[in-house]
Amino acid sequence: MVIRAALARMTKALGYLTLVLTLAFAASPLWSGDFAGFTADQLPVPQIDPPIQPASYAFAIWGPIYLWLAISAIYGVIYRAADPAWDAVRVPLCISLGVGVPWLLIAQVSAVWATITIFIMTASAILALIRTPARDRRWLRGPVALYSGWLTAASFVSLCTTLAGYDVLLNGYHWAFVGIIGALAVTIATYARAATPVYLFAVIWALIGICANNGMQNFLVTATALTGIVVLICIMAMWAPRINQQT
């Protein structure tokens, strides 16, 4: 009985920790400011409007991400405080959120460390998504999927911008192709483990932003991003019957 009571307290504490980290993460832009890409003085080869970066409007997706994660955390504390299935998700999610709280400050100081930490955020968020139970799609899987999907795209934006900024092998234009293909590969692999359309939507949203940013000026980058969108939509359509069977 004593052990069971202790475990129950630990479980509830994990739920509250998730809530606190989620709120801190959502509030981080208030003291860190907005992030619109690495500045010219952060990289040896300045990357001004890199082709891999989505148009600025695409970053508005952070509003729904913050809001949905906050609603999920509040719901979890109230209705799923002692749910083992939620706890399995909370552990990697807390790691991602914990790293995410200071990320905007890190990104303003070091592109290299920003890239390292955003991949930690992405990997732990994807693990959280894979662990989400089939039930509670709106309250848990959905917000985690939107969050991890955007991070999947954002991590490759950070990686390719940084590599181009340090003049590693390729320039920013060519790294854009690598980044799009890399993000698509991770997206498809993740979707195979956790088929959640919201996850694909977040990545598609980023690809649309890349198309908008490049337009006809960098037609091949735009065409590659458009091809990725078509591929993801086809995958979503093919997996739709399986998802419907799980509901």
- Domain ranges in the chain? 2-29+43-246
Structure confidence at residue 44 (pLDDT)? 86
Which whole-number Å values give the CA distances from 32 to 22, 47, 101, in the listed order?
Answer: 16, 22, 10
Structure confidence at residue 157 (pLDDT)? 94
Structure confidence at residue 23 (pLDDT)? 96
Structure confidence at residue 243 (pLDDT)? 58
Which whole-number Å values give the CA distances from 68 to 2, 32, 43, 91, 226, in the listed order?
Answer: 36, 21, 34, 18, 28
Q: Give the whole-angstrom CA distance, residue 135 versus residue 246.
A: 9
Which whole-number Å values give the CA distances from 125 to 35, 56, 166, 199, in the listed order?
Answer: 20, 23, 28, 11
The 3-class secondary structure across 88-136, one letter per residue, is HHHHHHHHHHHHHCCHHHHHCCCHHHHHHHHHHHHHHHHHHHHHCCCCC
Q: Give the whole-angstrom CA distance, residue 83 versus residue 208.
A: 37
Q: What angle do CA 97, 90, 233 make, to 5 degrees?
A: 75
Burial class (CB in 10 A: 0-12, 13-18, 19+), 164: buried
Average pLDDT for runs of 10 along the chain of length 247: 48 86 93 73 84 91 95 92 90 96 90 95 97 88 96 95 89 92 95 90 96 90 95 86 55
